Structure formats: structure tokens, C-alpha cells
Amino acid sequence: MGFISPKPARWSKAWLALWGAVVPLLLIAAFTIPVAQFVGAVVVLFLIPELISLKQGDSLPPLTQTIRHFLPGWLAFPLIYGLLGAFGAKTLGFGRWWGVGVMFGLLGWLTEHFTFTYLEGDPRPGEDAVTPKTAAKKRLKL
């Protein structure tokens, strides 16, 4: 649930450094350059390395696995949702694009929070407690 700093032994330090440079660069570019140029930058700086990651195996992790390893979900989800919402709102010309980003960030946190709340069993078990296994049996039949 918290931050993890040591990298898996099989992961390339250079590859992690690549992601560490690409992510901030793309985040800055998302809000400072025209959309067409940003899409080109995403293809070159994100899509190509991501495809290489998927073909090369364990030593070159994709960005998703890298984020998953180093950042807890309670931070990663709001950041991803918030930045995507802010970028979309700015691209669409919303005056308060940053506010849309904050709302999307809250949605990201809620998604992460409730996903894990629902994956676990009922925190107040009793005779009629609902667990993931019994939930299907207790659903309303339509």
C-alpha cells in the first residue's frame, strides 16, 4: 500500500531511467505544445518503448508495471485520472481545465478506494455477510 523503492534485480536501471525522463517530459509537453506535436512525441517517447517492453520480457518493464511497482494505487490513480482530465479539458478549450483535472483526480481516488473495498470481504461479517463468493448468489435476479 505504500511506496516501494528497491527495483527488482532483473529490471534494467537504464530502462527505468528512460521512463523517469520520458514521463515528466511528456507531462510538460502535454500542456505546452500543440496537440499534433504531442501525439507525435507520445508515439516516439512512449509507444515505441512500450512496444519494446512488451516484446523484450522481464528486464524492460512497461510503464504500467513500473508505475505499479513504485507508486501506491492511492497516488497513481488520482495522478493518472487527474492529468488525463486536465489534458482533455485544456485540449477542448475549457477555461478551468485545472478544475476538471482535480475532479478527475478525485474520481481516480474513488475508483481505487472502492475497487479495493469491494474486492475484500465484508468488514462487518455476520450470519448474512456478503463475501465475493456469496455475492453472486445474493444478487437480485432480473
Residue 131 lies in a domain: no
Same domain, 51 and 18: yes
The residue segments making up the domain with residue 41 are 8-69
Number of domains in the chain: 2
Per the CB < 8 A criterion, the answer to whether 85 and 103 are in contact is: yes
19 shares its domain with 34: yes
Closest CA to 11 of 65, 61, 64, 78: 61
User: What's the pLDDT at 58?
Assistant: 82
Question: Residue 132: inside a domain, yes or no?
Answer: no
Are 18 and 60 contained in the same domain? yes
The answer to the question of residue 139 being in a domain is: no
Distances (CA, A) of 131 to 9, 105, 117, 138, 140: 37, 29, 11, 10, 15
Q: Are residues 28 and 65 in the same domain?
A: yes
Dihedral angle, C-alpha 80, 25, 32, 83, nearest 10 °: 0
Please state at what angle helix 13-32 crosses helix 73-91, rounded to 10 degrees. Answer: 30
Claim to verify: residue 22 and residue 48 sit in the same structural domain: yes
Q: pLDDT truncated to tens, each residue of the chain (142 aa)? A: 567 778 899 999 999 999 999 999 999 999 999 999 999 999 999 999 999 999 887 899 999 999 999 999 999 999 999 999 999 999 999 999 999 999 999 999 999 988 877 777 666 666 666 666 666 665 666 6
Please indicate, yes or no, whether residues 63 and 84 belong to a single structural domain of this protein. Answer: no
- Which residue's entry shows cell 475549457? 94
Apex 40 CA angle, 37 and 46, nearest 5:
130
This model's pTM is above 0.95: no
> Is 14 found in the same domain as 64?
yes
pLDDT at 6: 85
